[in-house]
Amino acid sequence: MMQFAWPWMGLMLILPLLVWWGVPAVRAERESALQVPDLHGFDGLSAARAQTRPGLRQLGLFLLWSLLVLAAMRPQWVGEPQQTPSSGRDLILGVDISGSMQEEDFRYAGRYVSRLAVVRELARQFIARREGDRIGLILFGEQAYVQTPLTLDRNTVQHFLAEATVGLAGKATAIGDAIGLSIKRLRERPEGARVLILLTDGANTAGNVDPAEAAQLAKRLGIRIYTIGVGSDGRSRSAFGFPFGGRGSDLDEAALIGIAEATGGEYFRARSTEEMEQIYARIDQLEPTESGGEALRPRKEWFHWPLGLALLCGLSWLIVGLSAERRHG
């Protein structure tokens, strides 16, 4: 719909009419002071001028003024209301990319795939649902590093998550370092909305930070940690596509449970794709996205259209006037 930001500026439309009503009186005074040696030929001149109606020049001036007033009223096109979240969470995904995450013991879309492949796909769907949240991505193996800082751009997080590769940060698992790096990123954010989701298939075998000590620091700072243990209990895929008893996850479940409980979070065990989906759905319930924020209507300014048209009319008028003077000069 169309509306005007400053509709009261429309009162300026009557200004030329007020000026016009005052002009004849001033003109009459000036004409009465005109002295000529012979009044022949001037009979009825004042009466003729008094009867003159606004001509083409006056109408052009009024049109130009109307366009300027219309631009001053700031016409706007207002779109449909769009609901915005009142506030969002600051949520970091800590994803294990150590060597064991290449184990193909998850079945997805009718075939066996690696643990990391399932984590990437389901985390991508999870991120898509987190409208209004600031989401960051930390990848860790032997070392932990920030792949994506906290951002509202979910597409960017999904893009870099899709590029995560097993072994890129080393073969070992530095869970404590991942928690410590997440705390560093979250500690400056508002309290009550700081969350870390830690996905791993192993125990802490590298790094300089003890996971239990990192969890205590997260507790003091009000950061909730949800830990997810990834991997089957000993079923992998053979070269012919059939599952057989193989390497399971080297999870330290006691440590992951302790981390979650210490910070007010929960520990989850994902042995299959279905369980992983249920875990993300459960986290959506525990950490729901905010709703009921202010409804905003996008606005597009259109004042430049009447202003540009007024400028074009004014220039055209000036050019025509100069040409006429040159012809009569």
pLDDT by 10s per residue, the chain, length 329: 788 888 888 888 888 777 767 665 544 444 445 555 555 544 544 444 444 444 677 777 788 888 899 889 889 888 777 655 555 789 999 999 998 899 998 988 889 999 999 999 999 999 999 988 999 999 999 999 999 999 999 999 999 999 999 888 788 899 999 999 999 999 988 887 899 999 999 899 988 999 999 999 999 999 999 999 998 876 545 444 445 444 556 789 999 999 999 999 999 999 999 999 999 999 999 988 765 555 677 888 888 888 889 888 888 877 877 777 677 65
The b/e string for 192-207 (b: 16+ C-beta within 10 A; e otherwise) is ebbbbbbbbbbbbebb
Residue-level pLDDT at 23: 64
What is the CATH class of 90-286? Answer: alpha beta
Contact (Cβ atoms closer than 8 angstroms) between residue 253 and residue 271? no
295 within 8 A of 256, measured Cβ to Cβ: no
Phi, psi dihedrals of residue 4, rounded to the nearest 5°: -115, 130
Q: Widest CA span of the chain, in angstroms?
A: 126
| C-alpha 106: how far from chain center | 35
Residue 105, CA atoms < 13 Å, CB-side half-sphere? 20
Q: Which residues pair with 235 in a beta bridge?
A: 245
Q: Taking Cα atoms as reference points, which of 126, 170, 52 lies closest to residue 279?
A: 126
Starting at the edge strand found earlier in the chain, the sheet holding 299-301 runs: 2-4, 75-78, 299-301
| Paired strand residues for 108 | 111
Where do the CATH 3.40.50.410 domains begin and end in the chain? 90-286
Q: Is the dihedral of CA 41, 42, 47, 51 positive or negative?
A: positive
Rounded CA-CA distance 98/80 in Å is: 47
User: Looking at this protein, which amino acid is placed at residue 270?
Assistant: A
User: Tokens 């000590």 — which residue?
Assistant: 213
User: Coil, strand or helix: which one is 308?
Assistant: helix
Q: What is the pLDDT of residue 295?
A: 62
CA distance linking residue 115 with residue 230, whole number of Å: 7
Task: Phi first, then psi: give them for residue 118, nearest 5 degrees.
Answer: -70, -40
Burial class (CB in 10 A: 0-12, 13-18, 19+), 174: buried
Q: Closest by alpha carbon to 119, among 6, 53, 198, 39?
A: 198
Residue with tokens 């994506």: 148
